[in-house]
Amino acid sequence: MNQNRLLIVGNWKMNLNVQQASILVHRLHERIRIRRDIELVLAPSMLALQPLSLQIDRRKFRLCAQNAYFVDEGAYTGEVSFSMLQDLVHYVIVGHSDRRHKFNEPLEMIRDKVAAAIRNDISPILCVGETAEERKDGETKQVIHDQVTTALSNLASRDVSKVVIAYEPVWALSNGTDYSHHEIPTPDIIAEAIRAIRHNVSELYGPTAAKEMRILYGGSASASTARGLMESEGVDGLLVGGASLNYQEFSGIVDAAYRMQTAISGEI
């Protein structure tokens, strides 16, 4: 874990209408205390972003978009650009496995989205990770290399510090909101993948940039597994899927992060 605050992101995916999203934020606000060393980010649907921006306690939460289009404006019916999100969000998720595999977004589009986020002063949360088949074929490091190096290739050195990367092994993701039944990678598997990510960043932008970059683990975390996942070597937080829709689970994940940090502080 680097010196930055732990970053915990709740990706609500295509769930909850505006009213339901508002209720969930209210319940999270009731249960989650302000933690100086933990940054909490909520990624609701695009429709809910604007009303939630008026509701959230900004001392506790920041907002994140789940996706955006890489052209700032123009004849792109139905799309929302990064420039439109400037005043609403601190983060945008880019390259999530849903976008890569269900919407067939290629490496080059993800690269352009990362650059568009930086251009509009938004931090991209870049998701990378291998499928079960790629892992079985021994291609994990190559997949991570291609995804990381392509995505960051249009950035200047000064911009890399704004990027967050989430290691998201596709084979470990739950289906929908059933986050309780999935395969959890061992700490060694997570640490190995994160070392590969930092190595690729180091090759592009140097060891300091690689060391300081926040890298999350994203793979169906829950309150019961969160601490173990965050204790994996090199993990700076979590990208939470289905469990972030359950206020008890998500607040439990935050509590687990706080307990872990308290334990670490006590050891120093």
Taking a C-beta distance cutoff of 8 angstroms, is the pair 90, 63 a contact?
Answer: yes
Beta strands in 138-195 (DSSP E): 164-167
Is the distance from CB of 173 to CB of 183 less than 8 angstroms?
A: no
Q: Are 244 and 194 in contact (CB under 8 A)?
A: no
Q: How many CB atoms lie within 10 A of CB 78?
A: 5
Residue 198 tokens read as 């930092």
The shares of helix, strand and coil residues in the chain, as percent rounded to the nearest 5, are 50, 15, 35
Residue pair 224/180 in contact (Cβ under 8 Å)? The answer is: no
**What is the pairing mode between strands 61-65 and 38-43?**
parallel
Q: What's the Cα-to-Cα distance from 238 to each of 54, 193, 198, 215, 216, rounded to whole Å?
A: 25, 15, 17, 9, 5
Contact call for residues 217 and 232 (beta carbons, < 8 A): yes
**DSSP assignment of 135-154:** HHTT-HHHHHHHHHHHHHTT
Query: What residues act catalytically?
Result: 96, 168
Per DSSP, the three-state class of 11 is: strand
Q: Rounded to 10 degrees, what is the CA torsion of 111, 112, 117, 118?
A: 80
